[in-house]
Every structure is written in C-alpha cells, then in structure tokens.
Structure 1
Amino acid sequence: MYAYDTITEALADLKKRGYTHDFNIRNNRLTSDKLDTHFGHNDFEIKEVYRFEGPSDPADEAVIFAIEAPSGALGTLVNGYGTYADDENTEFLQKLHERIR
C-alpha cells in the first residue's frame, strides 16, 4: 500500500500507475463517461482505498477508491465525507464502505 500526504499527490500517482478513468456515482450506480457504462456496487473491484482527513479544513476530508472495472479498465472515485458528503448516493457509498471494512 502506498502512503500519500495529499489528495492531489495520490491522484497523480494513481494516474501514473494506470488509474486513468474518472468514476462518478449517479443514480446509485458507478459510472464513467469514457467507458459509457455503469456498475452496481458489487460489479467492480476496489483495489486500493485512501482516506484523507483535513485537520483544519473540512474540504480536505475525502476518500479515494482505486477501482478496476470488469473490462480491466482502471480508474478512481473521489468522494467527500463529513460536511461534504453526498447525501443523494448515500446507500451506494455505504455499500462501498462495507466492502472495505
């Protein structure tokens, strides 16, 4: 497992290591515009997870998921938590967090 000081550093290194797709959550599904597809919460593999906690700035609270799609495509999902949590996709995110425990 790698150790990163910042979100930017983590994303840059993951991209260098092949995690080039940007995943998002829409309608409780994982999506990628480049891949033109979507996945349920069990339809992909979480390869790595990095949590960042901002001691003085709540905007720095985030989780980065390094993900492999069934096709082998690699990408990242960045999700804020705490103050900036995405309430719309809470169920999907809860299932993601259950998978990494």
Structure 2
Amino acid sequence: MDFRPRVYFGGGAGTVLDGGRVGFVSGTKVAGFLYRWKGRRLVLIVLPAKKNPAWSRLPRKKWVALTGDGLTASIWRRGDFIYAVVGNAPVTKMRELSRAITPKGEKF
C-alpha cells in the first residue's frame, strides 16, 4: 500500500469493526473498513486527498454530512486523507463514529 491511513477506532459503544480491505476507486487505491452498528453496516473509506482533486479542496478538519435514499455519508479531511463513512444510520450516529475515528487532539 502506498499510503498509511490512520484509523483510531476499532469498535466500542455498540459499534463493531468487522474487517477491512484495500481496493480501487476510479484508479485510486483506497482503504475500506466495515463496521456494524445495531445490525446495520457502516463502511469507512479512506483515500489520499492529493490524488483526488475534487476532495483536496475540502478544508482540513471540516465535517460534512450528506443524506439521500436512506443513506447518510459523513465526510471529512484530516491531514493528507479524506475519510467517508456511509450507511443507513442517523446523522448523529455518523458524526459520533466520525469523531471516534479521529484522534482526540484533532476533533472537528
């Protein structure tokens, strides 16, 4: 893997880390993590910001939530990486999980 994403959350508070893998999205290598919360699957994708011009403009430590078709996407940038958690959970749960993944000293 040509990058090392930092994920500081292995589970807790009713959320379980089920696994992870490396894959490609539009030719860019990404890391994927699968979580379970109340029987729902939540997917965390981590990708390098530099290789994704559309996302590289996202301000560091800014958190954005998008909803549609029963899914919520929680997206933020930390350092050189873009993090996105997607699942059919409420925005409040997605923000809580996003904060758990981010180190304590870097809260948004």
TM-score normalised over the length of structure 2: 0.32
Higher helix fraction (1 or 2): 1
TM-score normalised over the length of structure 1: 0.34
